[in-house]
Amino acid sequence: MFNYIDMSLSALLGVVVGYSVTRLIVGKKEEEVVSVETVSKSRDIVKPKEVVEKVEEPKDFSDLVRFLKDKYMLSEVTLSTYEGLPIASTLDDPEEISALAPEILKDVGGILKSKEVIIGGKYYKMCVFEVTPEVICTIQTTRDVPFVEIDRIREEIRRFMEVKT
């Protein structure tokens, strides 16, 4: 009986001592009270941006791939033909990617019965998709790219091609 009481008192004493020591080390943080005056004053300080930066529309395919890269936070963007010839790219040497893109769509896309293929590695993902029957887009990125975003990129390229060509 005494062992049970001694153990209970020891556990209670341990909790009290542990709590007290923790309070001394960490310190008691006072709760901050935010008043309505503080919030209303901060509204007066923050003013809406009067000048909205206008993003320039791309003038050619080189501008278009740079625009897409920046807008969608991509690592690289390459446009190529189904013959494997580069149209425009953010890469310094796009010939290899341009040559691989039609083969990826033909082989992997043929197996999957899809005109959109996403290949993932440890650090990068590569998306290859058909923009038109003549043009393929290849994007490289470090993040996941949802198919909705691929559709938006495709539509932006198509709109550009309708206007500029």
Model-level pTM?
Answer: 0.65
| Cβ–Cβ under 8 Å, residues 144 and 73 | no
* Phi and psi at residue 79, to the nearest 5°: -105, 135
Q: Kindly report the number of other CB atoms within 10 A of residue 25's CB atom.
A: 7
Q: Exposed (0-12), middle (13-18) or buried (19+): which is 99, by Cβ within 10 Å?
A: middle
Residue ranges of E strands in the chain:
76-81, 86-89, 116-120, 125-130, 135-141
Q: Look up residue 60 and give its amino acid.
A: D
Q: What is the pLDDT along the chain (165 residues), one digit of tens a residue?
A: 556 566 665 665 566 566 665 666 665 544 444 454 544 444 445 444 554 455 677 889 999 999 999 999 999 999 999 999 999 999 999 999 999 999 999 999 888 888 999 999 988 999 999 999 999 999 999 999 999 999 999 999 999 999 876
Tracing tokens 């310094």 back to the chain, one arrives at 92
Say how far apart CA 119 and CA 160 lie, in whole Å.
26
